[in-house]
Chain A
Amino acid sequence: DAMVIQNPRYQVTQFGKPVTLSCSQTLNHNVMYWYQQKSSQAPKLLFHYYDKDFNNEADTPDNFQSRRPNTSFCFLDIRSPGLGDAAMYLCATSRDRASHEQFFGPGTRLTVL
Chain B
Amino acid sequence: GENVEQHPSTLSVQEGDSAVIKCTYSDSASNYFPWYKQELGKGPQLIIDIRSNVGEKKDQRIAVTLNKTAKHFSLHITETQPEDSAVYFCAARNGVTGGGNKLTFGTGTQLKVEL
Contacts and interface: CB of A to CB of B under 8 A. Distances in A.
Interface string A3-39: 0101000000000000000000000000101000000
Main secondary structure of the interface of A (DSSP, over half): strand
Nearest to A101: B46
Interface residues of A, number: 27
Contacts, number: 56
Category for how many chain B residues contact A: 20 to 34
Interface in A80-113: 90, 92, 94, 97, 99-107, 109
Given A90-B44, A100-B49, A101-B34, A42 B101 contact: no
A45 B108 contact: no
B43 A90 contact: yes
A41 interface: yes
A99 B101 contact: yes
A111 to B, nearest CB: 14
B41 to A, nearest CB: 8
A107 B39 CA distance: 12
Interface of A: 4, 6, 31, 33, 40-45, 48, 50, 55, 90, 92, 94, 97, 99-107, 109
